[in-house]
């Protein structure tokens, strides 16, 4: 965070419902259209020569993704829906108290969307809050147009930020709760998953130089739809769009696939995480050295997934200033020169030295690690 501390006494935070839409700047609108519409079959609500407004089959608000033509690939907005129009005033007062750039955009500034409160949040991201939105046809039962890889709705954002505990504290102030995280036994936190809706996350925080946008995730209802997207990309000789997966996440338990769009923006297709809506939903803490944390089958994470992410814009449309991560990086401690990881915590490592699980109880900061054997 640029100003590192959240003031002690803040006005009430806006009531966020969920991650609702994103805006990506793309350099070649036709190439982006081919990827998102012809391949992924997102539905075009509206388009012109500068922008395409897209939604998934279960979305009934005007759009969940905007592709806008621009000179440099970037993320221009991550949008959260708030519970009512009145929450926009709450958001304005809250972010003014946080001392960040806040703007109000009149209804219709963004097609199909009512009034927007736009902020550059304390982490440096361009965030929008809205309630009003035009309703459009919900294609839930239009199986005749779904195809075999039907994408149901937008699920979450994943953002890269240098200081995970500080970012977590900021999002807790906004009413988000942690479902899972990745840490080590030296109090370094590498990533955290946080939610408002009753799933594993609306936003995930990934440790690294930031602000950068790591990915936007859409969900399907079933795993086979993800497999079909892979088969289709192969058939189209576009398998180079597949960056990581398909696989089963450790964190979240969801089935996953990561794609890179023609501008390099990372899109995840994700399905079947679990319910988190009770107030005492247990937090799962993963050891960074657990080889199953990010892929339940132990499939290695490709280096690009850790290192590459999209530029984000400030509210004037300029690339946001990057802040370097000071803590160790997850890639360095797991796949770098000194990295190690284990499948069974209590066995010795392949080089014969004591495994990370030996001599300790599988506890991190007094909390039982998730899924340790």
Closest CA to 74 of 25, 124, 123: 25
Element (H, E) at 289: none
H runs (alpha helix) in 206-358: 223-235, 303-307, 330-334
**Minimum distance of Fe ion from residue 132's CB (angstroms):** 28
* 55 interacts with ligand 4SX by CB under 6 A: no
Answer with the entry of ligand 4SX, Fe ion, Ca ion, none that 251 interacts with (C-beta below 5 to 8 A by kind): ligand 4SX
Pick the stretch among 40-48, 157-165, 178-186, 345-353 that binds Ca ion (CB under 5 A).
Answer: 178-186
* 186 interacts with Ca ion by CB under 5 A: yes
Distance, CA of 109 to CA of 114 (rounded, Å): 8
| Residues near 367 by beta carbon (within 8 Å), at least 6 away in sequence | 283, 285
Closest CA to 187 of 283, 281, 284, 285: 285
Answer with the entry of Fe ion, Ca ion, ligand 4SX, none that 347 interacts with (C-beta below 5 to 8 A by kind): none
Residue 93, SS3 per DSSP? helix
User: Which of residues 68 and 223 has its CB atom nearest to ligand 4SX in the complex?
Assistant: 223
Answer with the entry of Ca ion, ligand 4SX, Fe ion, none that 159 interacts with (C-beta below 5 to 8 A by kind): none
Pick the stretch among 98-106, 162-170, 179-187, 310-318 that binds Ca ion (CB under 5 A).
Answer: 179-187
* 330 interacts with Ca ion by CB under 5 A: no
* 268 interacts with ligand 4SX by CB under 6 A: yes
* 254 interacts with Fe ion by CB under 5 A: no
Site string for Fe ion, 121-160 (x = CB under 5 A): -------------------------------------x--
**Minimum distance of Fe ion from residue 216's CB (angstroms):** 9
Distance, CA of 219 to CA of 267 (rounded, Å): 11
* 212 interacts with ligand 4SX by CB under 6 A: no
With beta carbons less than 8 A apart as the criterion, state whether 204 and 192 touch: yes
Answer with the entry of Fe ion, ligand 4SX, Ca ion, none that 250 interacts with (C-beta below 5 to 8 A by kind): ligand 4SX
Residue 264, SS3 per DSSP? coil
How many CA atoms, within 13 angstroms, populate the side-chain half-sphere of residue 278?
6
- Indicate which single residue of 82, 133, 217, 364 sits in contact with Fe ion (rule: CB under 5 A): 217
> Quick one: tokens of 28?
């070649």
β-bridge pairing 203-207 and 153-161: parallel
Q: For the CA atoms of 143, 61, 179, 330, what is the dihedral angle to 10 degrees?
A: 90
- Indicate which single residue of 125, 270, 306, 342 sits in contact with ligand 4SX (rule: CB under 6 A): 270
Q: For the CA atoms of 41, 42, 45, 46, what is the dihedral angle to 10 degrees?
A: -80
Considering only residues 120 to 159 of the shown chain, the ones binding ligand 4SX according to CB under 6 A are: 158
- Indicate which single residue of 184, 202, 263, 327 sits in contact with Ca ion (rule: CB under 5 A): 184
> Quick one: tokens of 332?
């360095």
Site for Ca ion, rule CB under 5 A: 184, 186
Site for ligand 4SX, rule CB under 6 A: 158, 204, 217, 249-252, 254, 268, 270, 293-294
């Amino acid at each position: 965070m640029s100003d590192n501390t959240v003031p002690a006494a803040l006005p009430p935070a806006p009531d966020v419902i969920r991650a609702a839409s994103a805006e990506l700047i793309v350099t070649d609108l036709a190439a982006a259209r081919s990827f998102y519409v012809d391949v992924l079959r997102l539905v075009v609500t509206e388009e012109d020569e500068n922008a395409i407004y897209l939604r998934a089959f279960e979305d009934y608000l005007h759009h969940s993704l905007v592709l806008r033509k621009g000179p440099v690939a970037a993320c221009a907005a991550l949008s959260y829906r708030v519970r009512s129009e009145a929450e926009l005033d709450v958001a304005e007062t809250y972010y003014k108290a946080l001392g960040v750039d806040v703007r109000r955009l009149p209804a219709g500034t963004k097609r199909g969307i009512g009034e927007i409160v736009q902020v550059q949040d304390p982490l440096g991201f361009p965030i929008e809050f809205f309630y009003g939105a035009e309703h459009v046809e919900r294609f839930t039962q239009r199986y005749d147009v779904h195809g075999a890889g039907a994408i149901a709705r937008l699920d979450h954002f994943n953002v890269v930020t240098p200081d995970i505990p500080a970012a977590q504290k900021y999002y807790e102030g906004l009413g988000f709760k942690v479902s899972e995280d990745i840490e080590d036994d030296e109090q370094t936190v590498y990533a955290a998953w946080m939610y408002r809706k009753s799933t594993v996350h609306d936003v995930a925080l990934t440790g690294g130089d930031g602000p950068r946008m790591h990915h936007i995730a859409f969900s399907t209802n079933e795993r086979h739809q993800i497999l079909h997207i892979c088969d289709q990309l192969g058939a189209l000789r576009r398998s180079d769009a597949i960056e990581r997966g398909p696989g089963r996440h450790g964190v979240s338990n969801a089935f996953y696939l990561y794609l890179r769009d023609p501008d390099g923006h990372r899109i995840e297709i994700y399905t079947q995480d679990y319910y988190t809506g009770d107030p005492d939903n247990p937090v799962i803490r993963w050891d960074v050295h657990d080889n199953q944390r990010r892929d339940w089958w132990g499939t290695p994470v490709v280096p690009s997934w850790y290192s590459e992410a999209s530029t984000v814009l400030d509210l004037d449309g300029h690339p946001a200033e990057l802040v370097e991560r000071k803590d160790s990086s997850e890639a360095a401690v797991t796949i770098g020169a000194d990295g190690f990881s284990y499948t069974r915590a209590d066995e010795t490592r392949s080089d014969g030295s004591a495994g990370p699980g030996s001599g300790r109880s599988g506890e991190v900061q007094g909390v039982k690690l998730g899924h340790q054997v």
